[in-house]
Structure 1
Amino acid sequence: MSINNASFIYHTLSEQIRSGRLTHQLPAERRLSELFNTTRITLRDALMQLEHQGLIYRENRRGWFVSPSRIHYNPLLNFNFNRMVSSQGRTPSTQVLSSDIIPANAQVSRWLAITEGQPVIQIRRARRIDNRLVLYAEHYLNPAYFPHILQFDFTQSLSEIYQQHYGLTYGKVRFDMQSTALSQSVANVLKMSEGSPALQIVRSNQDQHGRLIDCDYELWRHDALSVCVDV
């Protein structure tokens, strides 16, 4: 019964989402179990299939929601987050989690081609699209190029701060992308469950003079964006 019933629930809810009859929040799991006359275990199987397809998403202690359309992400276009999201008719927002000077660990030292333990500026941010948490980001800056930068408002675009106050623009950029699973700490920030799928993007950035000035470590909800490249 579980396999067939879960499949029926999946196809029923999928059709309602695709047709626009189900547009925002799903009924509570108890109510859905009653509507489909099934167990919570079978219902969860169907909901997880929908989640893996990117049709719905879950927020801890809030329930299940219909996923909005994905943002198109083209790594060949040097758009910052705010500009990329706004250009697609959506509303970006940023929450600064922390900003400080810390010693570079082994991974960050490789990204920035510096000595392990050397001071770096770390900025941690959570970013939203249409008020939905979609991105956790850590930025690591070489402080030699950004004196007194901690005084700025980091809800703004970092690239715009670089250009307006330091005369620096991005030149060559290296992208590394891979699928991953969220750690407990990042899952808590994004209001997701530990182990949820995510897209990891590491971006190392040179300025217009060819100097490696910063790197970004990003973890995106797997259903928040699609990578599109025009060659």
Structure 2
Amino acid sequence: MHSWTSPENTPRATTQIAQIRQALLEQITAGLLQPGTRLPSERELSERFATTRITLKEALAALEAEGKIYREERRGWFVASARFIYDPRYKSHFQAMVEVQNRQVTTQVQSAGLIVAPVGLCQQLLLPPLSTLLQINRLRQLDGRSVLYVEHFLLPARFPGLLACDLEQSLTRLYAERYGIRYGRSCFEIVPGAARGAVARGLNLADDAPVLLITRINYDEQGQLIDCDREYWRHDAVAIRIESAMP
């Protein structure tokens, strides 16, 4: 009996994938394709490399996994900037971490208001049933590219009048200056996730596209709950780096 092999899985196709990846990578590394540059359409690229769309997509997917390019829904492929180095344990505000890396950040509030805490949050935060939370959703851009969608969940009793404040500023700074609340310890979880709804739209992704989900529960210096953040990162835009303390 003869086994059937897809033409796209043959050694020739595999070699083509590697050649296309290498050719595009050399253009990026040499600076001929600058960060933010939009690549030609998949049809144009497949014609230039004399290959099929399927083989081309394999090569593009390899570069995407390496963080060299990224895709935006209905817009095409773009050359990526260097990954942002992110330490979830960083105690200062996000803006400070961005400035250290000579990057530019903008923050846009997507929505803000009171909600009844979902079951999962009640369990995570040890809240009684039907508790009320403040929810603030924000979209963050690095160097003009949308890379992070954050859902913040706060206890209303700790932050009276918060919704009247400028919520595009650093919340860490706002907590300290207006409410005298400063971070102590944090508990965080990093898992693969999927972008859906407002998250997908904000990050210019298709529904169910992969993202890196960081959930962080923050406590103050007295060990009392401050907030819970759910950070949805474009996985091709970030590198997690954590430096452990000496024993």
TM surpasses 0.5? yes
| Paired AA for residue 20 in structure 1 | G
Change (3 A) 1:136 1:9: same
Q: Report the equivalent of 1:16.
A: 27
Letter in 1 for 2:125: L
**Deviation sequence 1:23-45 (CA, Å, 0-9, x none):** 22212222212211222222112
Quick one: distance in 2 between partners of 1:223 and 1:2? Answer: 25
* TM-aligned CA deviation for residue 184 of structure 1: 4.5
Contact 1:103–1:116 at 8 Å: present in 2 too? no
Q: Residue 7 of structure 1: which of 10, 18, 34 is its match?
A: 18
Which of 47, 58, 67 lines up with 2:80 in the alignment?
67
Alignment of 1:1-231 (within 5 A): 1-23=12-34, 24-231=37-244
Given that 1:111 and 1:215 are in contact with CA atoms closer than 8 Å, whether structure 2 keeps it comes out as no
Native 8 Å contact 1:82 1:93 kept in 2: no
Do the aligned residues in 2 keep the contact of 1:183 with 1:195 (CA within 8 Å)? yes
Separation in 2, partners of 1:100, 1:20: 45
Unaligned runs of at least 5 residues, structure 2: 1-11
Q: State how far apart, in whole Å, the 2-side matches of 1:86 and 1:111 are.
A: 32
Amino acid at match of 1:7: A
Give every structure 1 segment of 4 or more consecutive aligned residues whose post-TM-superposition deviation is greater than 6 Å. Answer: none
Could you tell me which amino acid in structure 1 is paired with residue 209 of structure 2? S
CA contact (8 A) 1:101 1:122 kept: yes
Aligned CA RMSD, in angstroms, stands at 1.5
Identity among equivalent positions (%) equals 43
The aligned amino acid for 2:213 is Q
Q: TM-score, normalised by structure 1?
A: 0.94
Q: Distance in 1 between matches of 2:188 and 2:113?
A: 25
1-structure distance, mates of 2:130, 2:113: 15
CA displacement at 1:76 relative to structure 2: 3.2
* Letter aligned with residue 33 of structure 2: L
Aligned length: 231
Task: List gaps (5 residues or longer) in structure 1.
Answer: none
Cα distance in 1 for residues equivalent to 2:130 and 2:25: 50
Amino acid at match of 1:209: Q
**C-alpha displacement at 1:203, in angstroms?**
0.7
Q: For 2:197 and 2:113, how far apart are their aligned partners in 1?
A: 22
Residue identity matched to 2:109: V
CA contact (8 A) 2:92 2:172 kept: no
TM-score (norm 2): 0.88
Structure label with greater radius of gyration? 2
- The question of whether the paired residues in 2 share the 8 Å contact of 1:180 and 1:199 is answered with yes
